Amino acid sequence: MNYQFNWQLVLKGEYADWIVKGLVVTLKISAVSIVLALLMGTVVAVLRMTRIRPLQWLSLAYTEFFRNTPLLVQLFFWYFGCNVILPEAVNKWLYAHDYEFASGVIGLTVYTSAFIAEEIRAGIFSIPRNQIEASRAVGLSFVQAYRYVILPQAFRIIIPPLISQFLNLIKNSSLVMTIGVADLTYMARQVESYTFHGFEAFTVSTLLYLGISLIVSFAITMYNKHFMLQVKY
């Protein structure tokens, strides 16, 4: 009942700088993970569509494993397991730069790519099968057919759910604080530890996450309106 609010503490000065630095790290780790997750998810989705059984089973195992295990567990797995799984040269490079950041990127990437792969596969299934057959008939290879004919159409169809996955990744990035990444949530926690004004710190961080989410949601709405106008025209 005697709690004294001090919003200036987190809006100006050193602690505000901490929040800004955390926001930059959140945006950076989210952006890198989004790009990598999209690339990996595309590869996994295409492998699911091949007629080579081992590749189908491998991609199926990938999606089922990473979609059905908690992200927090995966982050700890990569944080404590990278030095065991990855080659020594790669680990030396990671330790020389930012091991925690890299572990967070790997965890967010593989987790989100499993969901993205399923979204892309759903988009591929929505395209008439005769298009892939026609592509092969004119001399395109399997990879060329997907690159030039199937995937461009599939991506256009799945843009809204794909952006939703990106939004989930941004929100899930708050978990990387558990492995020592100085993101927005981590910095809000640090401000609380130093000032005992956790309410103000986490209110600001919540509003920042909300702002990011609203921007992404706005982008989805604009895409849908633009797409609908194109179809009508």
In 3D space, the residue among 164, 161, 136 whose CA is nearest the CA of residue 150 turns out to be 136
Two structure tokens written together for 19: 């929040």
In 3D space, the residue among 224, 185, 161, 200 whose CA is nearest the CA of residue 30 turns out to be 185
Q: What is the pLDDT of residue 198?
A: 87
Q: What is the pLDDT of residue 1?
A: 56
Q: What is the pLDDT of residue 140?
A: 83
CA distance 160 to 223: 8
Count Cβ atoms within 10 A of the Cβ of residue 178 and give its class: 0-12 exposed, 13-18 middle, 19 or more buried: middle
C-alpha atoms less than 13 angstroms from C-alpha of 190 in its C-beta half-sphere: 19
In 3D space, the residue among 179, 212, 177 whose CA is nearest the CA of residue 191 turns out to be 177
Higher pLDDT, 57 or 163: 57
Q: By three-state DSSP, how is residue 117 classified?
A: helix
Per-residue pLDDT tens digits for 143-159: 888 888 888 888 888 88
Q: What angle do CA 167, 170, 172 make, to 5 degrees?
A: 105
CB 188 within 8 A of CB 201: yes
The interaxial angle of helices 184-195 and 198-232, nearest 10 deg, is: 160
CA distance 132 to 123: 14
Rg over CA atoms, the chain:
21
Two structure tokens written together for 83: 């030095």
Higher pLDDT, 166 or 223: 166
Per-residue pLDDT tens digits for 49-89: 888 899 999 999 999 999 999 999 999 999 998 777 777 87
Q: What is the pLDDT of residue 169?
A: 95
Query: What mean pLDDT do residues 96-109 have?
Result: 91
- Which domains does the chain possess? 8-232 (1.10.3720.10)
Q: Which helix (H) or strand (E) holds 91?
A: helix 88-96
Residues 6+ positions from 90 with CB-CB distance below 8 Å: none
Write down the pTM of the prediction.
0.89
Per-residue pLDDT tens digits for 177-214: 999 999 999 999 999 999 888 899 999 999 999 999 88
Query: What mean pLDDT do residues 84-98 have?
Result: 78
Beta-carbon neighbour count of residue 167 at 10 Å?
Answer: 19
Q: What is the pLDDT of residue 91?
A: 76
Q: What is the pLDDT of residue 204?
A: 94
Lowest mean pLDDT, pick from 7-16, 53-62, 165-174: 7-16
Q: By three-state DSSP, how is residue 103 classified?
A: helix
Residue 162 has pLDDT above 60, yes or no: yes
CA distance 187 to 190: 5
Residues 6+ positions from 142 with CB-CB distance below 8 Å: 50, 136
Residues 6+ positions from 25 with CB-CB distance below 8 Å: 101, 181, 182, 183, 184, 186
